[in-house]
Amino acid sequence: MNPFEILFRDDILLSSRLLVGADVLCGIGILAALVSILFHARPSADGTRPGWVAHGPILFLTLATATMATAVGHRWVEVNHFPSQTMAEVLAMFTLALGVSMIVLWIALGLRKRGHGWAIVEDVLILLVLAGVVFTHAYVRTLATAQRDLPPALQSWWFAPHLSCLIFSYATMGIAALIALVYFLTRFWSGVYRGGQSWQSQAWILAGLLLIPFAHLVTIPLLLVSAVVFAALLAAGRVPGADTVLRLEKELDDVSFRAFAVGFPFLTAGLWQGAFWAQEAWANYWGWDSKENSALITWLVYVIYIHLRLLGGYRGAKAMSALVAGALSVFLTFQIFGYLPDSQKSLHRYTDDGVEPQEGQQGPAPSAQQAKAEVGGATSAEPR
């Protein structure tokens, strides 16, 4: 269905129409980011951009995020429970978390105060986040959005904080990985222009970007966007010098770590809450469910990153590679897990259409006969 048709149809749920409205704001924000990039190529005499240009991208990101928050709130009312039961609901929560995370990082890390040299990277990051929201919502519209009653398995006060912490951490780690990819792209195009790196080094960077799983969704679009930005700077005669690029790479390394530092405590809290929930439900903190194991592996990858950086002194490409590896593990846990053979018996799999729920899985409430057969009534479980 045409998104604009959804926007004006009264028979469509208000939450779905609000998500389309957020997409419209994201589209305007993408144009604002492109305009800001163009102004950055030809700044004013004092090296700045007009205020309306400089603040346009973050303004539309904020408006889109507020609209997504309203959509999630209406979805909460429509389904009468915290809206994170199906994949469509969780992805809507993820895009909201993506917008919130970018705004939090923009404020907490003082991106605006990092000077003229950082401005174009800031615009590219916001553009990529906005584009990610639009493409994710397009995928959400292909999923079932029918209302489902929350089963007894998920009727626990742990449900909302557990999911919220994990989704916010996934969004923040995703942005940290985007910064890492921007780092590699900056190094690649700078090497292409100056020939400062060997062709083997350039080939390894390009191969690494293209061989990442699902490169067509992330790294190839990033490569194309960065190529356009580089071409615009080249045409304007404003390609940064080698010292500027080196300084920018160091800032990217620093900002990516700070973004990781924002998200990692939420990832840890989500895992702890899941363990406490499992203890409350089954008197067992850890059940070795395949999703639990996948989430633990993701956490351990980021712990390795901390040790490599703080104890091993890793900086630059080595540290960024560990961040990208962590993001791939997050993607596997969050999205690809449901397609793996072992996920079919996991209690953490989303029970969208065509998935037969098991005890503790997200699915329809049990029948009256099933409820009577349960000893001690309803049970609870940890979802993700």
* Helix axes of 159-194 and 87-108: crossing angle, nearest 10 degrees: 60
What are the start-end ranges of the H helices in 141-158? none
Determine the distance from the C-alpha atom of residue 354 to the mean position of all C-alpha atoms in its chain, rounded to a whole number: 26
Terminal CA-CA length for the chain: 31
- Residue ranges per structural domain of the chain: 1-145, 161-344+380-384
CA atoms within 13 A on the CB side of 171: 27
Higher-confidence position of 264 and 49: 264
Cα 101 from Cα 281, distance rounded (Å): 31
What are the start-end ranges of the H helices in the chain? 3-7, 14-41, 51-54, 56-79, 87-108, 116-140, 159-194, 199-211, 219-235, 242-282, 290-310, 317-331, 368-373
Cα 270 from Cα 263, distance rounded (Å): 11
What is the pTM assigned to this prediction?
0.82
CA atoms within 13 A on the CB side of 140: 25
Cβ proximity of 78 and 13 under 8 Å: yes
Q: Calculate the CA dihedral of residues 231, 234, 235, 238 and round it to 10 degrees.
A: 130
CB count within 10 Å of CB 374 equals 12
Cβ proximity of 96 and 13 under 8 Å: no
- Tens-digit pLDDT profile for residues 231-287: 877 887 777 777 878 888 888 898 899 999 999 999 999 999 988 888 887 778 887
Query: How much of the chain exceeds pLDDT 90, in percent?
Result: 27
What is the mean predicted confidence (pLDDT) over 3-24?
A: 79
What is the mean predicted confidence (pLDDT) over 27-43?
A: 81
Model confidence band, residue 211 (pLDDT cutoffs 50, 70, 90): low
DSSP 234: H
